[in-house]
């Protein structure tokens, strides 16, 4: 069994900008309160699959291959920093998308959900908010003000493939490994 998720990787210039934002978060929060993903692990999650057996993983890979062939590379514009569940008690600090990019990712996510539902993977019932996790917050005693980051222009990136990742949980956080890549469009 592998703990899997489907994501889109981000281009280097956007990842560098996100790292600068993480550094700024490190100045605003007490460092002991934040756990930030490493630069190489920044991504846009499209679907968390959880513990998956080998037979289903193979079907997922076949489905993703066929799904990706019907798509073309596309550009995403990232903008703004926000928090889940809210600004008063943040647990996750994230970078968001421009409205048109958010709409595009929402359509991609909905279509992906339908394709995966065809092979027996339940559709996600929670609302989807496209984001890149910048930090996880714990034991917060005082909440820093992040209002000045809400409209921050993060930059644009091209999405050229979908990636199936495995995630191994450790006491120091998750370790992500690429299982397979699915280039968008006919090759």
For the annotated catalytic residues, the residue numbers are 43, 131
Residue 21 CB partners (closer than 8 Å, separation 6+): 81, 95, 134, 149, 152, 154
Complete DSSP assignment for 78-112: EEEEEEES-SSS-SEEEEEE-HHHHHHHHHHHHHH
- Rounded Cα distance, 148 and 140, in Å: 20
* Helical ranges in the chain per DSSP H: 12-28, 54-69, 99-117
Computed on alpha carbons and rounded to an integer, the radius of gyration of the chain in Å comes to 17
């Amino acid at each position: 069994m592998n703990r899997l998720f489907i994501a889109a990787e981000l281009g280097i210039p956007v990842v560098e900008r996100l790292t600068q934002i993480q550094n700024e978060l490190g100045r605003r929060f007490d460092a002991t309160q934040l756990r930030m993903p490493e630069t190489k692990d920044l991504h846009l999650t499209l679907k968390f699959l959880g513990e998956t057996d080998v037979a289903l993983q193979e079907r997922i890979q076949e489905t993703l291959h066929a799904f990706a062939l019907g798509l073309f590379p596309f550009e995403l514009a990232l903008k703004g920093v926000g928090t889940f569940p809210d600004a008063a008690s943040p647990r996750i600090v994230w970078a968001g998308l421009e409205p048109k990019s958010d709409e595009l990712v929402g359509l991609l996510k909905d279509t992906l959900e339908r394709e995966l539902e065809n092979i027996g993977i339940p559709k996600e019932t929670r609302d989807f908010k496209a984001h890149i996790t910048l930090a996880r917050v714990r034991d917060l005693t005082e909440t820093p003000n992040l209002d000045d980051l809400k409209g921050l222009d993060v930059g644009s990136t091209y999405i050229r493939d979908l990636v199936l990742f495995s995630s191994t949980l450790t006491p120091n956080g998750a370790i992500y490994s690429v299982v397979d890549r699915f280039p968008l469009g006919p090759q």
